[in-house]
Structure 1
Amino acid sequence: MNTLAALLVLGALLLPNKITNLHAGEFLRLPAEAILGAALVLALPRRPRLAVAVAAGVGLGVMTILNLLDMGFNDYLGRAFNPVLDWELLNDAQSYVADSMGRGVAIAAMVAAIVLVLLVPTVMTLATVRLSGLLARHRQRAVRGTLVAATVWITCSALGLQILGPPLASEHTAALTGIQAQRVVSTLRDEAAFEKVAKVDAFGNTPGSQLVPDLRGKDMIFTFIESYGRSAIEDPLIAPGVDKTLDTSTAALAKAGFHAKSGWLTSATYGGSSWLGHSTTLSGLWIDNQQRYRTVMASNHLSLTKAFKKTGDWDTVGVMPGVQKGWPEQKYYGLDKVYNAFQLGYQGPKFSWSTMPDQYALEAYQKQVHSKKRDKPLMSEIILTSSHQPWAPIPKMVDWDDLGDGSIFKAIQKAGNKASDIIANPTRSKQEYGKSISYSVTSLTQWLERYGTDDTVLVFLGDHQPIARVSGENASRDVPISIVAKDPKVLARITSWNWTDGLKPAHDAPVWKMSAFRDRFLTAYGSTKHPSSG
């Protein structure tokens, strides 16, 4: 038991916070925290020693849980877990597992997580208490061993000795604890600072009559394609299929009279949390965490979609097949009406997380919204979800006239891959991700060919890159963006942007921060700046 307790404590002290660092070399080190802890325990009488051992055990347990959360967040979202803001995202993670792997797996995962949260600090506390007692009972040998360990640590540190990569002399847990503390402090400071930033708006006091005057009479559509990132166009394993789709779609649109220009935006999020990408694009603010998102949603900062509503010259609508509950953000985005997952008439099966195929969502939009006669042009925000991980099963295109209520997709969903067969396989994840992007792009461009008019202007982009398992370690945060229209004057307004002709941006096409798009778009189409400063 003493050996097990020592291994548990050493393992916790050396546990990395990234899956890529989870190898033997990380655990073949001498932690300074263990040496200092032993010295402190040996210097204290019984009761203070017991208190220190309990506190150390609880602290090690908490740090172990935070390191495990960091692993998951780094792998899926390309960033570490934020102990102030990210707890509410765990509920979304549970819902994702339920949709992707089934409710039984989700319940089991939730139970396992609860047990882990309770068990890890308890086990660590028992281990540290046991080891403190062992050191006290063998004080003389423990003192000698601690001095030897300290001498070895100092020597290894001074000489910079390494084994299998990492240095032998470790201060790993102390460093990670400091990082976690700094993360908390930075988050609290950022909250106050960003609230001031959100009150400053270059177009905050612009009258409706001076917003997007060069788009009057146009039916505007802003569409986000889930996880549509640079990797889809440039990764050697993914790009051939997606690039072929983009080339084919560009040619088909040109035949229908549409032309496009494309560039790159650097997303504020990665791997998930799509709403951060949506809000960054439409608000013109860099929204990379949940607190910033809440601040903006509660503010009067002008969103790009709300700018159209403010003119009084457009009807505004949102099509949100991924929304399955109340969505108060509708007010911030200035949408007169929002169609969620239950309001599009779909009677077919879910495709993992995605409630319905993109092709169906677009046809429902056509029937319920776009085809209706109205006194004003239409401004629409559409979120397409078929390319959401785990990319299994993936819908297939069917004849548009056969879509009906979506029941036609039952056989396609049943014959598709299972999420469990794809989710842990990097190669298959890449392959299926590429297929899903091709499906989403094809659905959107075919819809435009079929239903677009001389006055249709489509802006579509990705919200973020896919997870690291697909996009690769240290991948960029770039996503493609395209503007498509029949009217040559629409694209002429953005000639100075130097975007690439067609739906596929060149590798060296301009790259802007996603937060820059709102102001550039408003300016390009004739909006006049009248700043507000809170």
Structure 2
Amino acid sequence: MSVGVSVVCAVLVVGALVLPNTVVGIGPMKFVRIPGEAVIGAAVALVLPRKPRMALAGLAGAALAALTVLNLLDMGFHQYLGRSFNLVLDWSLLTDAEAYLEDSLGRTAALAATAGVVVLVLLLFALLTLATIRLANLVARHGGRATRGALFVGVAWITCTAFGLQIAGVPIASDRTATAVEVQARRVADTLRDEAEFRKVAKADAFGNTPPDQLLTDLRGKDVIFTFIESYGRSAIEDPVIAPGVDQALTANTAALAEAGFHAKSGWLTSATYGGNSWLGHSSTLSGLWINNQQRYRTVMASDHLSLTKAFQKSGAWDTVGVMPGVQKGWPEQRYFGLDKVYNAFQLGYQGPKFSWSTMPDQYALEAFQQREHGKHRDKPLMSEIILTSSHQPWAPVPRLVDWDRIGDGSLFRDIEAAGSRPADVIADTTRSREEYGKSIQYSVTALTQWLERYGTDDTVLVFLGDHQPIARVSGNHASRDVPISLVAKDPKVLDKIASWDWTDGLRPAQDAPVWKMSAFRDRFLTAYGSTPHPKKS
């Protein structure tokens, strides 16, 4: 029994020492490596008296547990956000993850999952701490054999390192834990340094001092709408499983818009985020700054750096409004984005069911926008920012398009929601996730283009784009960060202004269409439509 417990302790500690930080990095060979940290730990345990040995072993076990938690967080973040967990910035996102689970699977399931995670973390700390202490005492108790064993394993580790020996492409010698500690330390230092440097970058603005009468002069009189479609990424158009249905929808919608007198040009933007954190994509596009973490976002939101939407407000030539069905609490960002009025999830009159995370179908949000703002007579044209959420994960249930005249207060969507797929049936199934994701993009794009056909005028200008790619389970572990962007208008002069961009005709950007970073869009758009740069320096 005692031997068995010791073996289990050794397996736990060695497994934690060599644990990768990505799901794709996990494989049997990753767990049969020689961890150099274990050799050093054994050597230290051999020379320390009992009390210091016990204290140091306990501290080492707790530290190893903490590092294991960070490795597991890295795995989750790589799968859902395409990046590592940031020890400084990302703790607040765990609350968002819990809210997402509650919206997708229900409060009971979310509470159970949260409780399960807490118990597992506490258990991990307890087991690794106790295992490390037991192994340290075992080494001290059998000093002679432990010394010979440590020397033998140490020589093997040095030999494997020196000759680069591998099995199935995996190095036999491992310093995974030491490297992980170094990476985490460097990441913290880089984050703190980036925060200070970015404040200076955000203070500089090529259009920061442009007078109101020199902003967007070539769009005066136009109703301009900026629409972000949740998770509308390059994979929707190019993935062999997802693309056929989406391409068919884009082709049909391009033809329907042309019949209604509208024409489009499309290109690609590289998003500042992936899989989630949509607000980073929105703000990068509209601010002209690369906002790829929460600290940068907070810095910009507290600044007077000119957003593209605020340029319309600053000009004095437009009323400005936001339609944000995904916002369910206070949204102080309204000031930064220069929106005179914002409709959140509770201010659009919706009486139907939620569709998992999405508070209402996109078709309803667009019709509510029409009835409350776009369809009203006004003294100024309207600039709008609209966030469409029906294509948000877990892509179940996906709404269906209904007769626009029957939308009403949204109650008719109850039967559609009840007949749709359940989130729990889709979340863990990669094939179904990809299929339902494709359907959700088809729905969102078609709802938007139908709205434009129905309510657009000679003076309507629509810019719509994705905020980021879907998660790795759908887009793959090596997907690009690119998203499609389209500009649609009836007035040929509007599209003539961007002829030099070399975008593709229609709603589907060609594979070799230009690719810009999201942060490049604001200045290109302002310049194309008559804005005169008057820089504000840092």
**Shared fold by TM > 0.5?**
yes
Q: Counterpart in 2 of 1:219? A: 223
1:403 aligns with 2:427: no
1:316 aligns with 2:320: yes
User: Within 2, Cα distance between the matches of 1:20 and 1:105?
Assistant: 27
What do residues 95-117 of structure 1 show as CA deviations (whole Å, max 9, x unaligned)? 10111111111001111122233
1:204 aligns with 2:201: no
Residue 119 of structure 1 and its aligned partner are, at CA, apart by 2.4
Q: Counterpart in 2 of 1:302? A: 306
Residue 159 of structure 1 and its aligned partner are, at CA, apart by 2.3
Q: Counterpart in 1 of 2:363? A: 359
Q: Counterpart in 2 of 1:96? A: 100
Q: Counterpart in 2 of 1:468? A: 472
User: Within 2, Cα distance between the matches of 1:160 and 1:105?
Assistant: 47
Q: Which moved more, 1:159-168 or 1:127-136?
A: 159-168
Q: Which moved more, 1:147-156 or 1:446-455?
A: 147-156
User: Within 2, Cα distance between the matches of 1:68 and 1:104?
Assistant: 24
User: Within 2, Cα distance between the matches of 1:158 and 1:197?
Assistant: 45
Give the match's secondary structure for 2:266: strand
1:344 aligns with 2:344: no
User: Which of 146, 149, 155 is the matching residue for 2:153?
Assistant: 149
Q: Which moved more, 1:161-170 or 1:377-386?
A: 161-170
Aligned residue identity for 2:350: Y
Q: Counterpart in 2 of 1:513? A: 517
Q: Counterpart in 1 of 2:423? A: 419
User: Within 2, Cα distance between the matches of 1:222 and 1:246?
Assistant: 18
Residue 395 of structure 1 and its aligned partner are, at CA, apart by 0.1
1:35 aligns with 2:39: yes
**Runs of 4+, deviation exceeding 2 Å:** 116-119
Aligned residue identity for 2:383: M
Residue 274 of structure 1 and its aligned partner are, at CA, apart by 0.2
1:26 aligns with 2:30: yes
User: Within 2, Cα distance between the matches of 1:70 and 1:126?
Assistant: 25
Residue 244 of structure 1 and its aligned partner are, at CA, apart by 0.6
Give the match's secondary structure for 1:398: coil
User: Within 2, Cα distance between the matches of 1:488 and 1:427?
Assistant: 42
User: Within 2, Cα distance between the matches of 1:167 and 1:421?
Assistant: 39
Q: Counterpart in 2 of 1:173? A: 177
User: Within 1, Cα distance between the matches of 2:373 and 2:290?
Assistant: 31
User: Which of 331, 345, 348 is the matching residue for 2:335?
Assistant: 331
User: Within 1, Cα distance between the matches of 2:98 and 2:308?
Assistant: 32
Q: Which moved more, 1:318-327 or 1:113-122?
A: 113-122
User: Which of 487, 495, 501 is the matching residue for 2:491?
Assistant: 487
Matched residues, number = 534
Q: What is the TM-score normalised by the length of structure 2?
A: 0.98
Residue 74 of structure 1 and its aligned partner are, at CA, apart by 0.3
Q: Is the 8 A contact 1:28 1:163 kept in 2?
A: no
What do residues 370-395 of structure 1 show as CA deviations (whole Å, max 9, x unaligned)? 11111100000000000001101000
Aligned residue identity for 2:55: A
User: Within 2, Cα distance between the matches of 1:472 and 1:365?
Assistant: 35
Percent of matched pairs sharing the same residue: 72
1:82 aligns with 2:62: no
User: Within 1, Cα distance between the matches of 2:363 and 2:524?
Assistant: 30
Residue 523 of structure 1 and its aligned partner are, at CA, apart by 0.2
User: Within 2, Cα distance between the matches of 1:395 and 1:32?
Assistant: 54
Residue 118 of structure 1 and its aligned partner are, at CA, apart by 2.3
User: Within 2, Cα distance between the matches of 1:17 and 1:99?
Assistant: 28
Aligned residue identity for 1:352: S
Residue 47 of structure 1 and its aligned partner are, at CA, apart by 2.1
1:394 aligns with 2:398: yes
User: Within 2, Cα distance between the matches of 1:109 and 1:15?
Assistant: 23
Residue 164 of structure 1 and its aligned partner are, at CA, apart by 3.1
Aligned residue identity for 1:329: E
Q: Counterpart in 1 of 2:73? A: 69
1:502 aligns with 2:495: no
Q: Counterpart in 1 of 2:381? A: 377
Aligned residue identity for 1:14: V
Q: What is the TM-score normalised by the length of structure 1?
A: 0.99
Give the match's secondary structure for 2:84: coil
Residue 158 of structure 1 and its aligned partner are, at CA, apart by 2.1
Residue 160 of structure 1 and its aligned partner are, at CA, apart by 1.8
What do residues 442-469 of structure 1 show as CA deviations (whole Å, max 9, x unaligned)? 0000000000001000000000000111
Give the match's secondary structure for 2:286: helix
User: Within 1, Cα distance between the matches of 2:183 and 2:42?
Assistant: 24
Q: Counterpart in 1 of 2:132? A: 128
Residue 328 of structure 1 and its aligned partner are, at CA, apart by 0.3
- Superposed counterparts of 1:453-464, under 5 Å: 453-464=457-468
User: Within 2, Cα distance between the matches of 1:211 and 1:115?
Assistant: 56
Q: Which moved more, 1:388-397 or 1:157-166?
A: 157-166
Q: Counterpart in 1 of 2:167? A: 163
Q: Counterpart in 1 of 2:432? A: 428
Residue 120 of structure 1 and its aligned partner are, at CA, apart by 1.6
What do residues 137-190 of structure 1 show as CA deviations (whole Å, max 9, x unaligned)? 111111111001101111222222222331111111111111111110100000
Q: Counterpart in 2 of 1:59? A: 63
Q: Counterpart in 2 of 1:195? A: 199
User: Within 1, Cα distance between the matches of 2:313 and 2:118?
Assistant: 46
User: Within 2, Cα distance between the matches of 1:531 and 1:163?
Assistant: 58
Aligned residue identity for 1:28: V
User: Within 2, Cα distance between the matches of 1:207 and 1:355?
Assistant: 39
Q: Counterpart in 1 of 2:529? A: 525
User: Within 2, Cα distance between the matches of 1:174 and 1:102?
Assistant: 40
Aligned residue identity for 2:46: L
Give the root-mean-square deviation of aligned CA atoms. Answer: 0.8
Q: Counterpart in 2 of 1:14? A: 18
Residue 225 of structure 1 and its aligned partner are, at CA, apart by 0.2
Q: Which moved more, 1:183-192 or 1:103-112?
A: 103-112
User: Within 2, Cα distance between the matches of 1:78 and 1:368?
Assistant: 38
Residue 202 of structure 1 and its aligned partner are, at CA, apart by 0.2
